[in-house]
Chain A
Amino acid sequence: MKRRSLLQVLAGAVTQWFAGFGRTAQVTAEHAGQLGLLSWRVAVVIARLKVSTRDIRTQMYVMGVQSLPIVFVTAALSGIVTSQQGGYQLVSSSPSYVLGALVVQSVVLELGPLLTAIVLVGRIGARITAELGTMVVSEQIDAFESLGRDPIAILAAPRVIAGVITMPLLVGFADMIGVTAGMITANIDVKLGPETFLFGARLFWHSWDLFYGFTKAVVFGLTIPLISVHMGLRTKGGAEGVGLTTTQAVMFMILTILILDAMFPPLMLQ
């Protein structure tokens, strides 16, 4: 076998890197284009009032009511841990009431919206992708179209509307649970009474913070169903294809949410 020169090896590596970069760029552009088209089609069916309110209610029940227990547990634990760690770090060096501000700000600005979104990715996003993917591979989407029905109006739009309405409600619920859990923990852990805790919270409070948290919730509530529907409708192959697409969708949603989350402070907290 001939040995390749260093130059040939380098040229091969550079070519491979460019080929990989090109493929990634192509796939990214494809997803962006298809997501844009899906968003447009969803907007059109909503504007034409072609979405069944019964379907929206059903999806709101699945996304909202059925998610309450897991959101409760996640929010409570996030409040407890923030309070415990904040108490450990602050109490000996800062006024104790600062702990109230730390817990409330952390929960409202970051933990409430982000953790609720991550929970919904696992509970709702994966479910939507798997459900729609199964419908694609079993020709149910084709069946809708063959019967003159628009799958976007029947399947995508109700989920997107339900996501946008439900997510802020869930985040509001998570905020209340997180703050309450943090306050109780502060009382037990560092003997910080509720009055002092709330005094600290009020001292550093801006109403804008609540608006900031709810804006995040609306954006995440739009992102999760859009990506999960988009990925579900792209499914190819049989059961293996559904599994693969669902895994990819979860990764895609988590990454997108974390990127969007990182974009919020420079846009809204300056």
Chain B
Amino acid sequence: MITYQNIHKAFDLPVLSGVDFRVETGEMFALFGPSGTGKSVLLKTTIGLMAPDRGDVVIDGISVFGGGRGAVQAVREKVGYVFQNSALFDSLDVLDNVTMGLPEDELARLSRADAGRRVWDALEIVNLEPREVLAKIPSELSGGMKKRVGIARAIVGRPDILLWDEPTTGLDPVNTAAVERLIKRLSDELEVTSLLVTHDVEGGLDMCDRVAMLDGGTLRFCGTPEEFRACPDPVVQAFVDRAAAEAALDMVSQSYV
């Protein structure tokens, strides 16, 4: 379970102003919001990549910002993080990139063959053919393949929680649908808690058990997809309408490509 407690963060201007919500164990949770509302900042605070000015994140009883370096390390071992632009290590091949996802102490215990098998399995789970991609470096992969390798790296350590930072950004509709199916399948099969930050509102509403919306640094909505669609709040409605219009535009423009 992930609990966000009164998170405040400002750079030059306030980005997050007292965000409170909880993601239950095993739940698939989507976080929406216009650009610049602090969704990715919130995700980064979850594992201590960014420290809030005030507030705390508690993961399965571990306080990320109240427990020192040991707590941060313990949390990071529980969590797999899928970055927006994959963030694969340029100089390493796919094998080494995915191997990096194994916790250091586990990697030290595993034989080379066992570590290789774990990497192989992770790549198969994300529908990549290991034999074809293992020796490639990131610049030799397509955008969709990079995303999948990034996902393989996040799941190879068998995390309890997966954080997804806009996993479909920059993908064409075909790859977007494929990655969304993959996210849903992984969350079901691996029985992990998933927190998904996305601009793809329709995809998020279809996949997730609960959703929330950030607006102006505060939580504007938190509830089920059905409640979100029926929410009378004009800001939420405007966001849903705009997202639907953008999705329709995407489909139309795609049909001309």
Contacts and interface: CB of A to CB of B under 8 A. Distances in A.
Contacts of B104: 148-149
Interface string A58-69: 000000000000
Interface string A125-162: 00000000011001110111111110000000000000
Which secondary structure dominates where chain B touches chain A? loop
Contacts of B84: 139
Given A143-B81, A143-B88, 8 more contacts: A139-B84, A140-B87, A140-B88, A143-B87, A143-B89, A147-B153, A147-B157, A148-B73
B77 A146 contact: no
Nearest to A148: B76
Interface in B99-123: 100-101, 103-104
Interface centre among A138, A140, A143 (most CB of B within 10 A): A143
Which secondary structure dominates where chain A touches chain B? helix
Contacts of A140: 87-90
Contact of B47 (A134, A139, A144, A146): A146
B77 A148 contact: yes
A229 B224 CA distance: 46
A142 B100 contact: no
A8 B100 CA distance: 62
Given A142-B44, A142-B49, A147 B76 contact: yes
B3 interface: no
Top 10 A-B residue pairs of the complex, sorted by shortest distance between their CB atoms: A139-B87, A143-B87, A146-B81, A148-B76, A139-B83, A142-B49, A140-B87, A147-B100, A140-B89, A146-B47
A140 B81 CA distance: 12
17 contacts: A138-B85, A138-B87, A139-B84, A140-B89, A142-B44, A142-B83, A143-B81, A143-B88, A144-B89, A144-B100, A145-B49, A147-B157, A148-B73, A148-B76, A148-B77, A149-B100, A149-B104
A148 to B, nearest CB: 5
Interface residues of A, number: 13
A83 B48 CA distance: 59
A142 B104 CA distance: 17
A147 B154 CA distance: 8
Interface of B: 44, 47-49, 73, 76-77, 79, 81, 83-85, 87-90, 100-101, 103-104, 153, 157
Given A147-B101, A148-B103, A149-B104, A142 B87 contact: yes
A140 to B, nearest CB: 5
A130 to B, nearest CB: 12
Contacts of A149: 100, 104
Interface centre among A135, A139, A142, A147 (most CB of B within 10 A): A147
A147 B88 CA distance: 12
Contacts of B44: 142
Nearest to B47: A146
A54 B145 CA distance: 29
Interface centre among B44, B87, B88, B90 (most CB of A within 10 A): B87
Contacts of A134: 90
A134 B85 CA distance: 13
B83 A143 contact: yes
Nearest to B74: A148
A119 B135 CA distance: 35
Interface in A46-80: none
A146 B49 contact: yes
Nearest to B81: A146
B118 to A, nearest CB: 14
B174 to A, nearest CB: 25
A134 B84 CA distance: 15
A135 B100 CA distance: 16
A21 B89 CA distance: 41
